[in-house]
A and B are shown apart, each in its own frame.
Chain A
Amino acid sequence: QVQLVESGGGLVKPGGSLRLSCAASGFSFSDHYMSWIRQAPGKGLEWISYISSSSGTFFYADSVEGRFTISRDNAKNSLYLQMNSLTAEDTAVYYCVRTARRLDYWGQGTLVAVSS
C-alpha cells in the first residue's frame, strides 16, 4: 500500500533552517509529481511547492519562494524540503503529498514550530 512518512520537523528559532524528508513506498515514486502542502494551526491548507517526476519542473508559492527548496532522490524514493530563513509564519504541519491531477495520497504530516 502507498505510504508517505515525513520526518525532520521540530522547534527552530526565527532565521533558522530545517530540512524535511518524506520516505515513499508502495508505488513507483519516480513516476509521480510530489508536493509539500502545509497547514498552520487552526488554519486552512496552503500548497507551497511541487516537483515533477524528473525534477525538471518546480513550483513555489510566493510565501516561500527564495527561502525553500524542494528536491527529490528517485533512487532513494525520497522527497525533501530545505527551509531557510524561517519565520513564525512558517509554523505549520507540513504534508508530503503524491500529486497528479489530484492529491491522492498524503503523509501524516510533520510539525514545524518557529519560535524564540
Chain B
Amino acid sequence: ELVLTQSPGTLSLSPGERATLSCRASQSLSINYLGWYQQKPGQAPRLLIYGASSRATGIPDRFSASGSGTDFTLTISRLEPEDFAVYYCQQSGNSPYSFGQGTKLEIK
C-alpha cells in the first residue's frame, strides 16, 4: 500500500510570505497520478494541481507544484488571506488510492 506523508502538519505564516508544503510517497509514483487539493472549513475540497505540476482551471499562478518519484512539493509564492486552509496531496496510481494526512496552513 502506497502511503503519502505530508509535512509539516501545521505551517504558520503571514500574508505575503512564501509557503512550501511537502508530500512524500512510500514508493515511487508516476507524476500523472499526483494531485493537490485545498479545503476550507465547511467546504468540499477543491482541485488545485493535477499531474504533479499542472494547475487546474481557475487556479491562480501563485500556486505551483513540482516533484517526481517519491518527493512532491506545493508552493504558494505570496500568500493571500484566502489561501489559509488545509492542503492534501493525493495519488491514484496505486490501489488503494490514498490521500496524505493534510497540512494546515494557518495565519501567524
Q: List chain A positions with a Cβ less than 8 A from chain B.
A: 44-47, 50, 59, 61-62, 95, 99, 101-104, 106-109
One of A47, A50, A104 near B99 (C-beta < 8 A): A47
One of B33, B47, B96, B100 near A62 (C-beta < 8 A): B96
Query: Count the A-B residue pairs with Cβ separation under 8 angstroms: how many?
Result: 53
Contact between chains at B102 and A44 (CB < 8 Å): yes
Contact between chains at B99 and A109 (CB < 8 Å): no
Asked if B92 is at the interface of the complex by the 8 Å CB criterion, the answer is yes
- Can you give 29 A-B contacts (C-beta < 8 A)? A44-B88, A44-B99, A44-B102, A45-B37, A45-B45, A45-B88, A45-B90, A45-B102, A47-B96, A47-B98, A47-B99, A59-B96, A59-B97, A101-B32, A101-B33, A101-B50, A101-B51, A101-B92, A102-B47, A102-B50, A102-B92, A103-B37, A104-B47, A104-B50, A104-B56, A106-B44, A106-B45, A106-B46, A107-B44
- Please give, as numbers and ranges, the residues of chain A lying within 8 Å of B50 by CB-CB distance: 101-102, 104
- Please give, as numbers and ranges, the residues of chain A lying within 8 Å of B90 by CB-CB distance: 45, 47, 103
Q: How far is the CA of A90 from the CA of B35 in the complex (A)?
A: 25
Given contacts A102-B50, A104-B47, contact A44 B101 (CB under 8 A): yes
Nearest CB on B from A14, distance (A): 25
- Please give, as numbers and ranges, the residues of chain B lying within 8 Å of A99 by CB-CB distance: 92
Contact between chains at A59 and B95 (CB < 8 Å): yes
Q: How far is the CA of A14 from the CA of B102 in the complex (A)?
A: 29
Q: How far is the CA of A95 from the CA of B97 in the complex (A)?
A: 15
Query: Closest 7 CB pairs between A and B?
Result: A102-B50, A106-B44, A45-B99, A47-B97, A102-B35, A44-B102, A44-B101
- Please give, as numbers and ranges, the residues of chain B lying within 8 Å of A107 by CB-CB distance: 44
- Please give, as numbers and ranges, the residues of chain A lying within 8 Å of B33 by CB-CB distance: 101
Nearest CB on A from B10, distance (A): 14
What 5 new A-B contacts, CB under 8 Å, besides A95-B44, A101-B35, A103-B45? Answer: A44-B88, A45-B37, A47-B96, A47-B98, A107-B44
